[in-house]
Amino acid sequence: MSLAEDLYPSRGDCEPGIYPRIDPVVYASVDTPPPIARELVQRYERDGFLILEKLFSADEVAAFQCELQQLRDDPMLRRRDESITEHDGGALRSIFRVHALSALFGRLVRDPRLLRVAQYLLGDELYVHQSRLNYKPGFRGREFYWHSDFETWHVEDGMPRMRALSISIALTDNGEQNGPLLLIPGSHRHYVACGGATPENHYRKSLRKQEYGVPDDASLAQLAEAGIVATAVPAGSVILFDCNTLHGSNSNITPQPRSNLFFCYNAVSNRLLTPFCERRPRPEFIAARQRIEPLRELQGGLLDEW
């Protein structure tokens, strides 16, 4: 067990259910000017997510799409641990630590359009806890079941507090039919403890199909009374969501692929401890804990060296 106090127990002997959140959602001081409209900040604090449509230009989106295709077609990359295939076939599901495997996405993670908003909301210097490219191809892209990222990051990685967020960048059009990100507004204000013991090397299965760290049906039904938002957005749009917001997505049985890039930012002051379960830490490509360095803003245009 971690030597730190477990403020958000889950799994093991914990009773599944809904518990209060004890951390802020927005950490910036009230007198700090936000990099986006204050109304948007208030919406993020209320709902647990925020949508910024067409944040990136058509030229930038074209470069992103070219890069995702090159990564998918790279046979050497396909053999790396960072590449995750679907549990029922060979289709590529995700590439983890993608900001370190792609020079373009390594620049993108430091883009001030993303970094300044994340730094403001979390009120600290930031590092990349996790990055991944989710492909969800047409016809064969499988679902991601309901979960709170924080529950997994806390239990299996040792993230102590809710001082992290994810930014999802739509690399293709996300329609209502091709498995867009689903979010439960307001769910971030509660902590849903889950049942079951965490298996050893759980990540080997959970990255393909999550069975532990999944909220119980009663808790999901109660929180979903607030509604479910399907984030249908055009390519180049950005969805920011709190680390504790319940989210998931349906399978994609349409011909249209739905590819999204995820950058998970964590506050430097919130770096990982020993996992809050009796298991070894997950690999570095899933949860960064070594050589933590604060991100510095990209200088110049995103495509200047591309």
DSSP string, 132-173: EEE---TTTBPPEEEE-HHHHIIIII---SS-EEEEEEESS-
CA separation for the pair 256, 210 (Å, rounded)? 24
User: Can you give the pLDDT at residue 219?
Assistant: 96
pTM for the model stands at 0.94
Residue 197 is part of a domain; what is its CATH number? 2.60.120.620
- Please indicate, yes or no, if residue 286 is contained in any of the structural domains: no
List the structure tokens of 206.
């959970």
pLDDT digits (tens, 9 = 90+) for 215-266: 999 999 999 999 999 999 999 999 999 999 999 999 988 999 899 999 999 9
Residue 57 CB coordination number (10 Å): 12
**Residue 108 falls within a domain, yes or no?**
yes
The answer to whether residue 118 is domain-embedded is: yes
State both tokens at 29: 């001081």
Model pLDDT, residue 210? 63
Identify the CA nearest to 192 among candidates 255, 155, 246.
246
206 found inside a domain: no
Report the pLDDT value the prediction gives residue 137, as an integer from 0 to 100: 83
Structural domain of residue 109, as residue ranges?
Answer: 23-201+215-251+265-270
Residue in the block written with tokens 């997505």: 249
Residue 290, in any domain of the structure: no
Q: In whole angstroms, give the CA distance from residue 32 to residue 213.
A: 36
Q: Is 4 within the bounds of a domain?
A: no
**Is 77 among the domain residues?**
yes
CA dihedral 108, 110, 112, 115 (to 10 degrees): 110
d(CA 164, CA 150): 8
Q: Which residue's structure tokens are 């996405």?
A: 105
Tell me which residues of the chain have a pLDDT lower than 50.
Answer: 1
Q: How many domains does the chain have?
A: 1
d(CA 48, CA 187): 7
Q: What is the predicted pLDDT for the residue at 86?
A: 77
Confidence (pLDDT) at 1: 40
User: For tokens 């993230």, what's the residue?
Assistant: 159
208: in domain: no
Backbone CA torsion sign across 12, 14, 183, 242: negative
Looking at residue 6, its pLDDT comes to 95
Provide the pLDDT for residue 11.
92
**Which two three-digit tokens encode residue 204?**
């080997």
3-state helix, strand, coil split of the chain in percent (to 5) is 25, 20, 55
> Residue 207 is encoded by which pair of tokens?
């990255």
